[in-house]
Amino acid sequence: MKKSIKYSTAMLALLLGTTIMSNTAFAADGASVKSIGTISYVPDDSTVTPIDPIDPDPEKPIVPTDPGDHENPTAGPLSIDYVSNLRFGEQKTTGQNATYYANLDKIIESDGSQIERPNFVQVTDKRGSNAGWHLTVTEDAQFKSGENELTGAQLTLMNGTMATPNDGIEPTAEQKIALTPGTASDVLDAKADQGTGTWLDRFGTDEAAGKKSVSLSVPGKTKKVQSEYKTSLTWTLTDTPA
């Protein structure tokens, strides 16, 4: 009996050893570990250069021919980059109702060439929140020359058309903006997920349309002294849609 027990124990040890060796021999080689990737966003407070409203290309910035009459672009993640000045030129005095149209905006392209474009306003949203925004314009006061003003004159912006170098969803552009001095009027409205990146609202799709898209109507009975009349426009960009 003792001999039989010893024999069985030896056989069991042999079998167990063979199994362990077999498992070890056929175990897969190699290993795995994990790593992480990160990215952090911070506000972009830089200014954005204005670009051509007909051929918007960030690599081809433009500058106005009258830089001294332009305020600097606003800085920050939500900005007004450019607004055309509205110039109606010299007109002959008249006692009849008259409508005048603003000259096209004269700009200088990156290659130094001077061109004419529809008057426009450029807005950039680089907040990253896609929360939307709203743009209004206010004619601060009636056109004036000293104490004289063009009583009853009506400034109107028409044919708002959007352009962008980006691929976002365009905001809604008002098609006829009849300004009342001292009162804000809607220009652009970007709902949530609209208006991300840079957008240009040009008054007229091209130069031909632009020549008839910004008008000033003056009643014939309004007194007109022989001098230059001026007004100012305040463009206000808010961080929430209408």
With H, G, I as helix, E, B as strand and everything else as coil, classify residue 240: coil
Tokens encoding 35: 């790593």
**How is the chain split into domains, by residue range?**
63-238
pLDDT at 65 over 50: yes
pLDDT of residue 242: 84
pLDDT of residue 27: 56
CB 165 within 8 A of CB 198: yes
pLDDT at 112 over 70: yes
- CA–CA distance, 52 with 110 (Å, rounded to integer): 10
Tokens encoding 132: 């939307």
Confidence of residue 1 (pLDDT cuts 50, 70, 90): very low
With H, G, I as helix, E, B as strand and everything else as coil, classify residue 21: helix
CB 142 within 8 A of CB 232: no
Which residues are CB-neighbours of 25 under 8 A, at least 6 positions away? none
pLDDT at 201 over 90: yes
Q: pLDDT tens digits, residue range 10-41? A: 444 445 455 545 555 555 799 999 999 999 99
Question: What integer best gives the mean pLDDT of the chain?
Answer: 91
CB 111 within 8 A of CB 59: no
DSSP 8-state class, residue 22: H
Question: What is the distance of C-alpha 206 from the center of its chain?
Answer: 19
Residue type, 240: T
